[in-house]
Amino acid sequence: MADLGKLRKNIDAIDDSILELLNKRAELVKEVGRVKTHGKSEFYVPNREKEIYERLMRNNKGPFSNESIRAIFREIISASLSLEHPLKIAFLGPQATFTHLACIQQFGLSADFVPVKSIADVFEEVERGGANYGVVPIENSTEGIITHTLDMFVDSNLQIVAEVMLEISHSLLSKRGNIEDIKKVYSHPQAIAQCRNWLAKNLPNVPVMETASTALAAQMVAEAPDAAAIASEFAANIYDLKIVKKRIEDNVNNFTRFLVIGKKSPDRGGSDKTSVMFAVKDEAGALYRMLEPFSEHNINLTKIESRPMKTRAWEYLFFLDMEGHISEPHVKEAIDELSKICLFVKVLGSYPRSK
């Protein structure tokens, strides 16, 4: 049997070594920050972060899981970035929305998060320089595209910098924690739609009210003992609520994709995605002609979404994701060919693919 005191002394010695190495790493990070400032380079480089995570996971021999390693280094990198240049991140608030959770997953807890009231406000905050980056939802695996985010790209000059995939798990929260006390339910329309069957089965006669966000619903319920909110477990901690029921979403494979937006897309990495927006007239064979350049250049399209243009009748806007970076010749050539046969084409950014 090993001596407990000796084991603890060994752990303390390792902790001291980790502390020393972390501070050595921090000194190097500060030097990187000075080099970036002198060269006017971007402080946030998502491709570099992705390389770090992938290398660490390849080299990880356990017993820590890769997920644990990523979480640990997420905070190390976040704290390091704050030494280089504190980042301000705008998101759809208030605190504890799923967008807020996506921000934490991407930037760690050392970033300065700026909650705003709408997706349009996220774009505006970044455009006017009030935040370095913004995080907005773009699509859900159950409910599909978030059209308001898509519409914002029509007039905005902001670029997509990165994407974040977040597993969405909804909980029913209330002040008392008893389902019998619930007389009304509040949440965001997307969350309500994702829990529609559960609500019909378990709270069939309870009215469901829409709010601007799941976190706002939690805020409201904190002052209403006869109400409940559909929100995250994180929201329960933030707003001092009790969990009535966990995981009430109808589809357990429920993910939302978020986009990080900024003023400049990152340089090419090892595994990139490019997003474009284009418009065509509603006529026979139009979409076939639009997609032909990508087929000819052997480019894999990962998503295509359409919606009517608000400013012109019978003309349609398409949002398209493809594998590859705009700096790669075959991607650039395909987009150049697309531009010749469209009403307009707009490259929204090239950025590292999220797994």
Which positions are annotated as active-site residues?
Answer: 256, 258
With vertex at residue 237, the alpha carbon angle to CA 233 and CA 240, rounded to the nearest 5 degrees, is 120
* Structural Rg of the chain based on CA atoms: 23
Distance (Å, whole) CA 36 – CA 166: 30
Distance (Å, whole) CA 158 – CA 50: 22
Beta strands in the chain (DSSP E): 88-92, 112-116, 133-140, 144-145, 159-167, 171-174, 184-187, 208-210, 227-231, 242-245, 255-262, 272-281, 301-308, 315-323, 344-352
Give Dmax over CA atoms of the chain in angstroms. Answer: 80
Q: Which string of DSSP letters, residue by residue, matches 210-252?
A: E-S-HHHHHHHHTT-TTEEEEE-HHHHHHTT-EEEES---S-S
Please tell me whether residue 276 adopts helix, strand or coil conformation.
strand
Q: In what order do the strands lie in the sheet with 315-323?
A: 301-308, 315-323, 272-281, 344-352
Token couple for 277: 């927006």
For residue 352, the cross-strand partners are 272
The residue written with tokens 């469901």 in the block is: 208
> Is the CB of residue 93 less than 8 Å from the CB of residue 115?
yes
